[in-house]
Structure 1
Amino acid sequence: MTKLTSKLVAAKVKGEPGSFADGNGLYLVVPKRGRAYWSLRYTAHSKRKQMTLAPVDDLSLADARAEAALKKKQLRDGLDPLIAKKQAEYASIHTVDELFADWHEGNVRRLKHHQIPQRVYMQDIAPVIGEMQPSDVTGRDIKQILQNIVESNRPTVANDALLYCKQLFNHAIKLDLIVHNPAFAFSVDDAGGVEKSRDRALSFKELTQVFKKFREESDSFTRDNYLACALLVLLGVRKGELTEATWSEFHLKTKTWYLPSERSKSGVAIDIPLPDLAIQWLDELKVRSLGSDYVFPNRRSSKMPHMGKDTLNRAIAKLFGREPGRAVQPENKMGDIAYFTVHDLRRTCRSLLAAIGVPGHVAERCLNHALKGVEGIYNRHDYFDERKEALELLAKKLEPII
């Protein structure tokens, strides 16, 4: 075997792809694409292994040999160089923010909506403990996080934050960064409490009053918010599916909205028929969007290009005299109307469809729910024409009040 020289390395890097041995397990690897790099091959526990040392541009031949010799010494001392490299990466985790980044990397691969724990962490957890060392976080810090969220009247978020804290610090235990999980002893009773399933749906009379109030409070409840709520009641889609929609999904001439699978919570794409009333509102929104790619562009300077996830709920809550973070709450403008959230508008759509006589299986497909039981397995008919007729009937009922 001919040992490499600096000149030979330079020639090999410019030549044909391949692996070229230098001895002692050190190889120069020239890939078909990308930068050439140094690689070390060795045997540990009767298994052949290979690890990348560094790009050739960053490590000279002499330094590569020295690095390879160091790794081989680790092996003779009983430590697998690959394991030592991984441990060194974990040793670089000094703050909870860095711990979260390592934990969230797994969430991106594992969770469909990995942005949800990221949002809760950035908004509610990081401000309290983000810059602390994981080993310095105590139960008092976890209590403070939960207390802040509960006081802002977000019990569901408090429960989510507790779950993410437990998972985050379990990850720290796996990495030998801590020996005790500071969130372990807390339960939902310490956070938002046991959540009851909501069954709130607005009656037609309530809906009439609500949209009248929306119009009267147009200084605080914007036209974008108004039209978003109107479309949610008419089309029955989920909030994020609408507020994050792009104009490329809409075909106004054919009166169809194509919701792609990657944006559909059900994971299944669907063509949504658009009644003339929806087209009328969308035409207005097209003008209001001022050339944006999004139907509901963010009106404030933000990294998020579309309407924020909490915008509608916060706007509605404010009309009810609820504004998180304020010592003095605003006046309740909604009178004796019972409190509701944005998701309740979707439930209201379902209730109204039933009230005007739309068959259950058609109404369920209007909400992009998968049909259950035998019908869901064998009936792949999408009921587009039936959904179109149902939404047109609902539009006629809603048009006088919205």
Structure 2
Amino acid sequence: MEKRREAAEVRPYKTFEEAAEQWLSYWKPTRTESRVKQVAAYLQSDIYPVIGRRALADLPSSVFRDMVKKIEARGAPTVAKLVLQVCNQVMRYSIAHDWVQRNPVAELRASDLMVIPKTKNHARVGEADLPALLHAIDNYSGEEQTRLAFKMMALTFVRTAELIESTWAEFDLDAARWTIPADRMKMATAHVVPLSWQAVLTLRRLQVLTAGGDFVFPGRDSHKRPMSRATLLMALRVLGYRGRMTVHGFRGIASTTLHEQNWPHEHIELQLAHQSRGAVSAAYNHAQYLPQREAMMQAWADYLDAQRARYAPPI
């Protein structure tokens, strides 16, 4: 009986809302403002009214199941999926802080509960139009930081958030290496991006522009937050590529072209961070095929330069 009292003192009573607010404070400093607002809105409008006041230990899987099914029933399956993801992160955070013993959301999969709409392929130009796109980016008349963000996206073909939320602490320019930490990766394991000499030069210029700030691509209004996705989307519209190209489209261009150039599939997939990696093998796999990927990334940068040289103004 005495041990139970001690355990109760170590693990204070927490409602889901109390836990979620503490998780949100921990999570949001490294996320974009738009993403933070989106998650906060889900919490306030979809989650707290249903389970906010309930004790963490009093939340079976069925409560989360019924909540997301109700959201799906109103015609918002994508929101339902994201709500489930947020709840999962809150419960994992709660386990880490000894507020609860198990995560009931871990027993649920969105695909088992609802029909998730298929995502559309991201719009992207073909190889024939790549020289014109690169020329347009190089001659972008807006902020230099935005132009260099596009250049880095083309050179590294990482995910948009992985690029714009990057910090200088992740880079070793002398070693030409960018290591994205696990907590910023979709697969939740660290990811190494070999940097071509063109990428290193671009980053050296960005160091001058950011003047010692933490973020490689700081926001316009505050250097304490990263650049907004909207900045890049607006720039694509200005360049005349609305509906023809997305920021994410650089990943598709790189994947298609590198496969056509007969680079090994496993090297490309690893560089795209598509491979699912378990916790046991994560430390090994995040740097797997690194010499080969270094050669591939340099060859890719050289290919982009060659495409720039092919540009011919329209008659």
For Structure 1 versus Structure 2, the TM-score category normalised by the shorter chain is: 0.5 to 0.7
Residue 254 in structure 1 maps to residue 175 in structure 2: yes
Distance, in Å, in 1 between the alignment partners of 2:235 and 2:141 is: 11
**Residue in 1 aligned with 2:274?**
369
**CA distance in structure 1 between the partners assigned to 2:250 and 2:171 by the alignment:** 22
With 270-279 and 193-202 compared, the bigger mean Cα shift is at 193-202
Task: Give the Cα separation in 1 of the matches to 2:201 and 2:6.
Answer: 64
Answering whether residue 240 of structure 2 is matched by residue 334 of structure 1, we say yes
Q: Secondary structure at the match of 2:161?
A: helix
- Does structure 1 conserve the Cα–Cα contact (< 8 Å) formed by 2:196 and 2:298? yes
Q: Report what 2:132 is aligned to.
A: 209
Partner residue, 1:119: 37
Change (3 A) 1:170 1:371: closer
Compare relative contact order (CA 8 Å, sep 6+) and give the higher one, 1 or 2. Answer: 2
1:44-97 deviation digits (Å, cap 9, x = unpaired):
xxx868988xxxxxxxxxxxxxxxxxxxxxxxxxxxxx99xx8xxx8xxxxxxx
Q: Secondary structure of the equivalent of 2:182?
A: coil
Corresponding residue number in structure 2 for 1:238: 159
Paired residues of 1:256 and 1:271 also in contact (CA < 8 A): yes
What residue number does 2:260 align with? 355
Sort the Cα spacing of 1:232 and 1:304 in 2 relative to 1 into closer, same or farther, 3 A.
same
TM-aligned CA distance change 1:387 to 1:257, over 3 Å: same
Instruction: Compute the displacement of 1:303 (Å).
Output: 7.0
Quote how far apart the aligned CAs of 1:112 are.
Answer: 11
- Tell me the distance in 2 between the aligned counterparts of 1:358 and 1:218: 35
Choose which of 298, 304, 307 in structure 2 pairs with 1:392: 298
Preserved CA contact (<8 Å) 1:117 1:164: no
Matched residue type, 2:151: A
Q: Which residue of 2 aligns with 1:186?
A: 74
1:103 is displaced (CA, Å) by 6.8
1:103-142 alignment runs, 5 A limit: 104-105=20-21, 108=24, 118-120=36-38, 125=41
Over 3 Å counting, the alpha-carbon distance change for 1:246 and 1:190 in structure 2 is closer
Distance 1:117 1:287, change over 3 A: closer
Is contact 2:213–2:223 with CA below 8 Å preserved after alignment?
Answer: no
Find the counterpart in structure 1 of residue 288 from structure 2. 382
SS at match of 1:257: strand
**Structure 1 residue matching 2:175: 3-state secondary structure:** coil
Choose which of 202, 212, 218 in structure 2 pairs with 1:297. 218
Given the alignment of the two structures, is residue 306 of structure 1 paired with residue 226 of structure 2, yes or no? yes
**For structure 1, which segment, 380-389 or 258-267, has the greater mean C-alpha deviation from structure 2 after superposition?**
258-267
How many Å apart are 1:306 and its aligned residue? 2.5
Distance 2:188 2:118 in 1: 26
Q: Which runs of 5+ in 2 are unaligned?
A: 56-66, 80-114, 309-315
Q: Secondary structure at the match of 2:183?
A: coil
Unmatched segments (≥5 aa) in structure 1: 1-41, 53-81, 91-98, 126-160, 176-180, 320-332
Aligned residues: 253
* In 1, Cα distance between equivalents of 2:7 and 2:155: 59
**Per-residue Cα deviation, 1:10-63 (whole angstroms, up to 9, x for no partner):** xxxxxxxxxxxxxxxxxxxxxxxxxxxxxxxx99xxx868988xxxxxxxxxxx
The TM-score normalised by the length of structure 2 is 0.63
> Looking at CA atoms only, which structure, 1 or 2, has the larger radius of gyration?
1
Matched position secondary structure for 1:396: helix
Do the aligned partners of 2:218 and 2:225 also contact (CA within 8 Å) in 1? yes
Say which structure is richer in strand: 1
SS at match of 1:262: helix
Is 2:178–2:192's contact at 8 Å kept on the other side of the alignment? yes
C-alpha deviation, 1:276, in angstroms = 1.2
Distance 2:272 2:29 in 1: 20
In the TM superposition, residue 277 of structure 1 has moved relative to its aligned partner by 1.3
